[in-house]
Amino acid sequence: MSLGRMFYLYRRLYVQQLKAILEYNKDFYILMCSAALTQVLGFIFLWVIYDRIPDINGWQFWEVTFMYAMIFLTEGVASLFFEGTWRMSRLVNFGEMDRYLLRPVPVVLQVFCTGIGINGLGNLLIGGVIVWQSLARGHVDWTAGKAAVVVLLLVTAVIIRVAINLAGNSAAFWIRNAGNAFPLMVHNLADLAKYPITLFPQAIRILISTVLPYAFISFFPATYIFGKSEWSGWWMLAPVAAAGMALASYGIFRFGLSRYESTGN
Amino acid sequence: MPIARLKMYRSIANRSLQNVLAYRNSYVINFLAGTINLLAIYFLWKGIYSGRTEVGGYTWDQMKTYLLITYLANSVLSWYSETAISGKILDGSVAVDLLKPIDFQSARFAETLGSSLFEGAQSLILITVFALCITGIAFPGSAHVYVLFIISLLGAVLVKFGIVYLAALVCFWSTGSMGIVWTRIALTNLLSGALVPLVFFPDWLERLALMLPFQSIIHTPTMIFLEQAGTWESLRLIGLQWFWGILLWLAGKAMWSWAVRQVTIHGG
């Protein structure tokens, strides 16, 4: 199936979900605002702290807010456009995956379009504003090349985020109960990447730069953008991490799908 | 009659405890998620304190204690009650509760106490492990501080229940609970002192936070445990907790009787 066709199908499926969501518009606003509020809160936290101290381990205020907001920004994109991964345990446990398997459309594409997390819009907006402010105020020496790399790092960050979500939620194929909180735990580990990873012990640093490469969403891009010389060059691994994570998570998903055996009735 | 009633609520509390135990897997995972969060915050603060002896009037040892107490006070009464009450309203099973000769609010409070037992025990274990691994936790010296601290924890549960209950009743007017729950959590975390001690705030925000009920949840127990409040000051803070607890309880009652009328309008 060509990429253009996939994109077309994705758009059609997505618009259908959007119609459903807009039916309940009171919820729509509440969710959006609450997501934004949660994020502003973390910002206030950093602001209150930096009001008293000039730096944390050599990291300035706008450098840390960049990392913090990148985690939220990518989460926003993931829940706005790929929320379906979070419905996977439902799809598997209720046997709804049957329907998807019968259609001549890639299953993973259909899974992505199983829902829309409108809270993502709040995260995306506020995250975007904070990232933009951090870049504008954080003493960055801009060149055309740097801008291009920053765009590339944003794209890889989103890929990493979505891939980790897909991999984590694929646990539904193995853990067959409705209250499966494993994906949530994987998701929560992103909390560790909101701050410079140099704060953490070696084991945690390695975990969030390899198996769950959250650090390539926030920390490594920050080292490049704000010119931290001791980490120079590390950002180049971000596309590698994105490609690796995407392949791995698709592999896990396919493997899980091959074990899928529908429900009894 | 009152004794029979008490028995009834005790059995509700008991049932809710068993419910928690039956679904313990998701609690264990929730618990792990909490641990990750605690670790992240711990190392962040450690970074903040590196090369400094005190920030905002707190030494690093006091801050470690503050973090653990916050974790304890926050995990007692967490996820279960939050979703159980709004869930009843959203899926309509509240209609069945209306038929029962039990006060809805008291029954939910009994349920909350039941699950709090489990959640509290769980976080106590984690905190003990943590306290053994790190040094310098500032334990209070005299016994009466512990007594005051435990009373203030109970007060915190009462106030938090009041806030959670009011937030849950808002679900009568919405179709989902997630947004309301998140907003509630965000506001509580900011204004109770769970995020940072209230003295870190700019003056106006600190004064505002002290005037609101949220501070009873975290601020009061930590002040007492860290012995930043003397005995009289502690008693005053606990009195304030009870004031807020009762006020919120009455507000919940009023809102409930108003909300129930809304349900009848919708026709169930």
Chain B: nearest CA to A187, how far in angstroms? 9
Chain A: nearest CA to B147, how far in angstroms? 32
CB contacts of A41 in chain B (<8 Å) are 186, 189-190, 195
Based on the number of CB atoms within 10 Å of its own CB, is B265 exposed (0-12), middle (13-18) or buried (19 or more)?
exposed
d(CA B268, CA B261): 10
Q: Mind listing the pLDDT tens digit for each residue in A186-223? A: 888 888 888 888 888 888 889 888 888 998 999 898 88
Q: Mind listing the pLDDT tens digit for each residue in B16-51? A: 777 777 766 666 776 777 778 788 888 888 888 887
In this complex, do A38 and B185 lie within 8 Å of one another by their Cβ atoms?
yes
**What is the residue-wise DSSP string for A184-247?**
HHHHHGGGGGGS-GGGS-HHHHHHHHTTS-GGGTTHHHHHHHTT-GGGTTGGGHHHHHHHHHHH
Question: Is there a contact between B51 and B100 (Cβ–Cβ < 8 Å)?
Answer: no
Is B268 a member of any domain? no
Q: Mind listing the pLDDT tens digit for each residue in A47-67? A: 888 888 888 888 888 988 999
d(CA A131, CA A133): 5
In this complex, do A44 and B195 lie within 8 Å of one another by their Cβ atoms?
yes
Q: Identify the pLDDT of residue B268.
A: 44
Query: Going by C-beta distance under 8 Å and a sequence separation of 6 or more, which residues neighbour residue A38?
Result: B182, B185, B186
Q: Mind listing the pLDDT tens digit for each residue in A135-149? A: 888 888 888 888 899
Is B110 a member of any domain? yes
Q: Identify the pLDDT of residue B65.
A: 87
**What is the residue-wise DSSP string for A145-156?**
HHHHHHHHHHHH
In this complex, do A189 and B30 lie within 8 Å of one another by their Cβ atoms?
no
pTM score, two decimals? 0.83
In this complex, do B33 and A185 lie within 8 Å of one another by their Cβ atoms?
yes
B83 touching A (Cβ < 8 Å): no
Q: Mind listing the pLDDT tens digit for each residue in B62-103? A: 888 888 888 888 877 666 667 778 777 777 777 777 777 778
Is B251 a member of any domain? yes
Is B178 a member of any domain? yes
> Domain total for chain B?
1
Is B186 a member of any domain? yes
d(CA A123, CA A126): 5
In this complex, do A56 and B48 lie within 8 Å of one another by their Cβ atoms?
yes
Is B23 a member of any domain? yes
d(CA B135, CA B202): 31
Q: Over chain A, what is the mean pLDDT?
A: 86
Q: How many CB atoms lie under 10 A from the CB of residue B151? A: 17
Q: 48-67 in B: which are within 8 Å (CB) of A? A: 48, 50, 52, 55-56
In this complex, do B180 and A182 lie within 8 Å of one another by their Cβ atoms?
no
User: What domain range includes position B77?
Assistant: 3-262
Is B31 a member of any domain? yes
How many percent of chain B have pLDDT more than 90? 10
Is B267 a member of any domain? no
Whether pLDDT at B247 is above 90: yes
Q: What is the complex's ipTM, to 2 decimals?
A: 0.80
d(CA B231, CA B243): 18
